[in-house]
């Protein structure tokens, strides 16, 4: 219930003028192949149950993906990758995510983004990241069983430090560098939390082979192992 309320509040946020203008312009102009669809054109909340022990944090919704469908990672190539991987890891009931009512259900994992609105060129500014980070903090705080955060990309990795510091976690100095397979375990008020780094599932990584399916499977396998330990 609390997550549902949070999702509704996030969906109405207009705190970043540049992103509000972009998400709404994209929703009006549309891509030709989706011109018959009603775009969401608003912030995209997270997806997954409140008893999740694993969170997956991406960068931001795609203009014609989450910004179109209204569901995180849904309807774009990045989503094809992450939901297929979650399915292979036993965390999703189907390997595809094409629209809001396609029957997708996640188990033990909550998927969200560091920035909730589609940015121009897929590139939020540091200021926009900081403006949006309280939503991420509230979302993670509403996952009482959370044990592992899989962070897709260095942008989300950087976004998490102030969120975790504010939540009472003791952070190492210097901050651990982001990398694929990076693993950091933190101690906080409710026990330990492990961060796992993965290259983002964006096309510049998946098309070039920088991120492969076995590489992503290895990180999610480690996440399920840690969550169950």
Of residues 107, 122, 131, 165, which one binds ligand SF4 by CB under 6 A? 131
Residue 184 lies near ligand SF4 (rule: CB under 6 A) = no
Concatenating the DSSP letter of every residue in 63-122 gives TTTHHHHSSTTTTSHHHHHHHHHHHHTTSBSSS---STTS---BSSEEEEESS-SPPGGG
CB of 148 to ligand SF4, least distance (A): 24
- State which residue, 40 or 135, has the beta carbon closest to ligand SF4: 135
- State which residue, 17 or 103, has the beta carbon closest to ligand SF4: 17
Residue 136 lies near ligand SF4 (rule: CB under 6 A) = no
Residue 163 lies near ligand SF4 (rule: CB under 6 A) = no
CB of 96 to ligand SF4, least distance (A): 26
CA atoms 122, 116, 61, 67: torsion sign? negative
CB of 132 to ligand SF4, least distance (A): 3
Phi and psi at 217, nearest 5°, equal -60, -35
Cα–Cα distances in Å, from 128 out to 19, 29, 67, 106, 114? Answer: 8, 23, 17, 28, 10
Give CA–CA dist 39/60, Å, rounded.
Answer: 16
Per-residue x/- mask for ligand SF4, residues 56 to 95, rule CB under 6 A? ----------------------------------------
Give CA–CA dist 215/220, Å, rounded.
Answer: 9
Residue 19 lies near ligand SF4 (rule: CB under 6 A) = yes
Of residues 16, 72, 184, 219, which one binds ligand SF4 by CB under 6 A? 16
């Amino acid at each position: 219930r609390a997550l549902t309320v949070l999702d509704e509040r996030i969906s109405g946020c207009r705190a970043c003028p540049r992103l509000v203008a972009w998400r709404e312009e994209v929703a009006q102009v549309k891509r030709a192949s989706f011109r018959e669809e009603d775009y969401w054109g608003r912030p995209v909340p997270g997806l997954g149950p409140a008893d999740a022990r694993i969170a997956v944090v991406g960068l931001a919704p795609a203009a014609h993906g989450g910004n179109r469908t209204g569901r995180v990672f849904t309807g774009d190539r990045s989503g094809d990758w992450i939901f297929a991987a979650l399915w292979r890891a036993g965390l999703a009931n189907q390997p595809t995510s094409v629209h809001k009512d396609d029957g997708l259900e996640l188990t033990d994992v909550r998927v969200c983004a560091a920035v909730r609105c589609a940015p121009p060129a897929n590139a939020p500014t540091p200021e926009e990241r900081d403006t949006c980070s309280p939503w991420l903090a509230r979302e993670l705080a509403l996952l009482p069983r959370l044990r592992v955060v899989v962070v897709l990309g260095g942008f989300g990795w950087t976004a998490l430090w102030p969120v975790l510091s504010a939540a009472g976690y003791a952070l190492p100095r210097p901050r651990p560098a982001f990398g694929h397979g990076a693993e950091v375990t933190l101690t906080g008020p409710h026990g330990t939390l492990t961060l796992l780094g993965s290259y983002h599932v964006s096309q510049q990584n998946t098309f070039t082979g920088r991120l492969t399916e076995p590489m992503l499977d290895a990180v999610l396998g480690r996440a399920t192992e840690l969550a169950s330990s």
